[in-house]
Amino acid sequence: MFDEIMEKFEGSPSQQAVIRLLLERGFSVNDEGRVVSGAIEIPNTQIAREIGVDRRVVDSTTDAILDDDELRRIFQNISHFPSLMDLAPVLDLSVVTVAVSDADAAGIIAEITTMIAEHGISIRQAISDDPEFSDEPRLYVVTEEPLPGDLLNEITALPFVRKLELS
């Protein structure tokens, strides 16, 4: 899906940058063509400044979104949810980041979270990047306590795990 969306803007790397930002941040586009997070409007100048483009690029991108029925449905229904990952150090939580070799494979989240739960560790949040919207999708698991070494070794040994990071 991500590739299909980006193809619609293949002639404009600047518009692709706008699309990428909207998807990464969970920003929507309302009926007036304004970028929003919930009901809060985000000025196009701020978006343009963030990605280093002219404000008119943001305007033309949101116009193109509203002119395309498929893009309109996608970008009017995106929502953002709060993540505990950045708050983990403040709240004394742990974050395990798992990169996998085949993010489309079934059961990755279930297998990893089951292993953690079987060790009696409470999972506060699990977030996974959608392989359709991310070049390098990852699974982020926020836990009440650090995972013990034996569990980290078990997770690392799973055939689909490419890399494991702790924070």
Domain 88-166 annotated CATH 3.30.70.260: yes
Residue 139 scores a pLDDT above 80:
yes
Q: In the Cβ-directed half-sphere of 3, how many Cα atoms lie within 13 Å?
A: 3
The rounded distance, in Å, linking the Cα atoms of 62 and 163 is 37
What pTM was computed for the model? 0.74
Tokens of 77: 């229904």
Q: Give the start-to-end residue ranges of the domains of the chain.
A: 2-75, 88-166
Q: Tell me: the pLDDT tens digits for 57-109? A: 999 999 999 999 999 999 999 988 888 998 999 999 999 999 998 888 899 99
Q: What is the pLDDT of residues 8-30, one digit of tens each?
A: 999 999 999 999 999 988 999 99
Strand order in the sheet with 94-100: 123-128, 138-143, 94-100, 161-166
Mean residue pLDDT of the chain comes to 93
Q: Residue 56: is its pLDDT beyond 90? A: yes
